[in-house]
Amino acid sequence: MSNRWPGKTVIGVTGNIATGKSVVRRMLEHVGAFGIDADGLAHRAMSPNAPAYQPVIDTFGKWILDANGRIDREKLAKVVLNDPEALAQLEALTHPLVIQVIDLLVKRASQKVVVIEAIKLFETGLAEQCDTVWVVDAPENIQIKRLMEQRKLSEQDARMRVNAQPPQSEKKSRAVVVVDNSGGYESTFDQIQAALDKLIGKAEAAPEPVKEVVSATPPGEVEIAIQRGGPKLAEDIAKFINQNEGLSLSRTDILVRFGQKAYMLAYAGEQIVGLAGWQVENLIARTDEFLIGAGAPVENTVKSLLKSIEKASNELQAEVSLMFLKNDTSDEIRKAVLTSGYEKHAAADLNVPDWREAAEESHPPETYLVVKRLRADRVLKPV
């Protein structure tokens, strides 16, 4: 266990850009770890009014701002990626803040296993605070392909990002575990599960999720139980989505989604009657799939799903829950959501810059946003 954080087993996850560090972190969260995205915290530290915002502007100039007064990451990246001295200046402004926040989050975490994802895990000294270091690896051609698909970069820009980083071999030489993320989801997950079992022992690993009744059942209604959906339930999840959305997703499609989000399933007996796809990223919970099956007891199913999402989000120290409902969501579902403490908002009207940016980036088409605050306190508070 960690000397710095007694009672915690801390896994440091690193690797070069687009190797799949975030996927590995989320997989560990699926099996009960508390995840921290250090690079995401660095971005939050530069949000308007956050501690590093003005110092970064003072250092690099107002030209890095976008029309809304936010630091444009692409403009800033073009400067620091080509200038080691500029990169060092930026890191000197953000890294001390990130280290402070990581320390706070780890100390607050109730989970015994904590995973810290950081591209500069070795350079910042964070690796020395971890019990083990896992390096995620993927071939250069896959890195470039992912950057082009996920970040919409040109091949030239993607290749520049990849080549601007130290050789991956340097990280791998210092790793306790190397995770090959060039194959499918199942291959990566199997490697992670094996490494985790070896680290903490199978007896200490998170138990299989079980169904749990989380809301009182109104008289005369069928009891609703909630279970977190894991990879073993991928086929059932695909079947429910296909039935309710008219899609033709496969088990493999759902496994790929597990690299991005988690699922909560609502059951009436042995039948799935509701589903929510959600994630917590940078202390912000986002639900972008919310389906209630025909014939389900709507109010109890909705409230049970929301309670479970909020409980799991609180365990990951989320500050706010952002939920995107389809424009054609029924009045009955909408009413159940709003009476659960959610309020309808336009993303642009959110007064916390990080929440606003997350809402704008995550907003699926043909949906509207409802929001519920989960914590009164925030890390990286305005200065």
* pLDDT, one tens digit for every residue, the chain (383 residues): 667 899 999 999 999 999 999 999 999 998 889 999 999 999 999 999 899 999 999 999 999 999 989 999 889 988 888 888 999 999 999 999 999 999 999 999 999 999 999 999 999 999 999 999 999 999 999 999 999 998 889 999 999 889 988 899 999 999 999 999 998 888 999 999 999 999 988 645 555 678 999 988 888 889 999 999 988 899 999 999 999 999 999 999 999 999 899 999 999 999 999 999 999 999 999 999 999 999 999 999 999 999 999 999 999 999 999 999 999 999 999 999 999 999 999 999 999 999 999 999 999 999 999 999 999 988 876 54
Q: What was the pLDDT predicted at 335?
A: 98
Q: In the prediction, which pLDDT does 203 show?
A: 47
Q: How many CA atoms lie within 13 A of 90 on its CB side?
A: 24
Say how many C-beta atoms besides its own lie within 10 A of residue 254's C-beta. Answer: 22
Contact 312, 262 (CB under 8 A): yes
Can you tell me which residue has the tokens 């692409």? 74
Using alpha carbons only, what angle is made at residue 13 by residues 99 and 382, rounded to the nearest 5 degrees?
Answer: 30
pLDDT for the residue 377: 87
pTM: 0.91
Q: Work out the burial of residue 25: count CB atoms within 10 Å of its CB; fewer than 13 is exposed, 13-18 middle, 19 or more buried.
A: buried
Q: Which domains does the chain have, with CATH numbers?
A: 9-204 (3.40.50.300), 224-373 (3.40.630.30)
Task: State the Cα–Cα distance between residues 304 and 52, nearest whole angstrom.
Answer: 39
Q: What span, in angstroms and rounded, lies between the C-alpha atoms of 265 and 291?
A: 10
The residue to which tokens 């073993």 are assigned? 232
- Residue 199 contacts residue 32 (beta carbons within 8 Å): no
